[in-house]
Amino acid sequence: MFNGILIEKDDKGYRAEVKAIEDNVLSEGDVTIKVSHSTINYKDALAITGKAPVIRSFPMVPGIDLVGTVEHSDTDKFTVGDAVLLNGFGVGEVHSGGLAQKARLKSDWLIPLPDAMSPRQAMAIGTAGYTAMLSVIALEKNGITPIKGEILVTGANGGVGSFAIAILSKLGYKVVASTGRVDQKEYLTKLGAIEVIDRATLSEKGRPLAKERWAGAIDSVGSYTLANVCASMQYGGVVTACGLAQGMDFPASVAPFILRGVTLVGIDSVMRPIEDRVEAWQRLANIIAPEVFEDISTDISLAEVVKVADDLISGKIQGRVVVDMSK
């Protein structure tokens, strides 16, 4: 048996708690991993609190991210002792996930932990930083270079936003951060933002076209915010959409796309091909400075996960939360 977060739903209701878990709760897979670290993403918080129907079958170990070492392998892709990491692929939703001391996974979902990155650093990055990197790569592939102009990052205090600012700044871009917590300007400017704006300027219904400002944007908010971001892009600007903190709707017009040639790129991190994952994680290992991990992340134990999930849903968490299985 091993310790982990187990979500159950039955006649007693919906509940998530730390408990001793038997191996038969784990889903099928050809690699068994001793998990050293995991993390809590917004999707994990929704699953743990039951605020959204994230979990598809019960009982379920949540956690869409994990890093650890291979304990047992039925494939020649990985051997005992290999350091591996995982993001997405339905893990923590339809397949038992990373918020436990053990996981059983399909080898096709795993990638090696980059040599320059510690397990703790990998989970400080997690799906949030990996998604931010995918978004930055999309901007680059669509021709957005630092000389093109300012890049807007919405949801700036969240995990994706925090890493997007740090990555873009390191690459030489001028980054403007949009947040509902403008009192935390110091945190965002330390990450590399040259300006911090109140999200209220973007979160209400706006005009089909607004004044051109942004060369590029990374949006993790959706709804009116994404619509207003698109409306205020420069000609030929590029927006990446990777989240729905404000909502799944997109109340926009076609004007930015047919009159200014704006490109809207969808960023999916869950089912991304392995080659894209390896590229993103290697870029992260090369770009992110060690001090960024201290600014962006905090460590907790398994026993603290349920409480922190509530705080995350309530908007009380800044940056990333790393779950250390040894605590």
CATH number, domain with residue 156 = 3.40.50.720
Share of the chain above pLDDT 90, in %: 88
pLDDT (tens digit per residue) in 83-97? 999 999 999 999 999
Both 23 and 51 in a single domain?
A: yes
At residue 314, the pLDDT reads 86
Domain carrying residue 22: 2-113+292-324
Task: Let me know if residue 275 belongs to a domain.
Answer: no
Both 92 and 133 in a single domain?
A: no
At residue 268, the pLDDT reads 96
Both 131 and 219 in a single domain?
A: yes
Helices (H), 205-289: 223-231, 255-259, 274-287
pLDDT tops 90 at residue 75: yes
Task: Let me know if residue 281 belongs to a domain.
Answer: no
- pLDDT tier for residue 105 given thresholds of 50, 70 and 90: very high
Both 173 and 82 in a single domain?
A: no
pLDDT averaged over every residue in the chain: 95
At residue 319, the pLDDT reads 77
Work out how many domains the chain is built from and give that number. Answer: 2
pLDDT (tens digit per residue) in 191-206? 999 999 999 999 999 9
pLDDT (tens digit per residue) in 223-243? 999 999 999 999 999 999 999
Contact 184, 191 (CB under 8 A): no
At residue 295, the pLDDT reads 77
Both 83 and 163 in a single domain?
A: no
- pLDDT tier for residue 292 given thresholds of 50, 70 and 90: confident
Contact 298, 327 (CB under 8 A): no
> Measured between alpha carbons, how far is 103 from 17 in angstroms, rounded to an integer?
17
Amino acid present at 124: A
Both 89 and 139 in a single domain?
A: no
> Measured between alpha carbons, how far is 31 from 97 in angstroms, rounded to an integer?
13
Task: Let me know if residue 120 belongs to a domain.
Answer: no
Give the SS3 label for residue 219: strand
Domain boundary among 219, 249, 266: 266
pLDDT tops 80 at residue 291: no
Give the SS3 label for residue 31: strand
> Measured between alpha carbons, how far is 138 from 270 in angstroms, rounded to an integer?
16
Both 96 and 131 in a single domain?
A: no
Both 249 and 299 in a single domain?
A: no
Percent of the chain as helix, strand, coil, to the nearest 5:
35, 30, 35
Task: Let me know if residue 171 belongs to a domain.
Answer: yes
Other Cβ atoms within 10 Å of 307 Cβ, number: 11
Both 172 and 108 in a single domain?
A: no
Element (H, E) at 102: strand 102-105
Task: Let me know if residue 280 belongs to a domain.
Answer: no
Average pLDDT over residues 209-230: 98
Task: Let me know if residue 273 belongs to a domain.
Answer: no
Average pLDDT over residues 38-59: 93
Both 311 and 262 in a single domain?
A: no
Task: Let me know if residue 250 belongs to a domain.
Answer: yes
Contacts of 97 (CB under 8 A, 6+ apart): 38, 60, 61, 62, 63, 64, 66, 91, 103
Other Cβ atoms within 10 Å of 240 Cβ, number: 26
Both 30 and 132 in a single domain?
A: no
At residue 56, the pLDDT reads 87
Share of the chain above pLDDT 70, in %: 100
Task: Let me know if residue 73 belongs to a domain.
Answer: yes
Residue that has been written with the tokens 């993390």 in this structure? 39
Both 132 and 257 in a single domain?
A: yes
pLDDT tops 90 at residue 278: yes
> Measured between alpha carbons, how far is 215 from 228 in angstroms, rounded to an integer?
14
Q: What is the 3-state secondary structure (H, E, C) of 60-82?
A: ECCCCEEEEEEEEECCCCCCCCC
Other Cβ atoms within 10 Å of 152 Cβ, number: 25
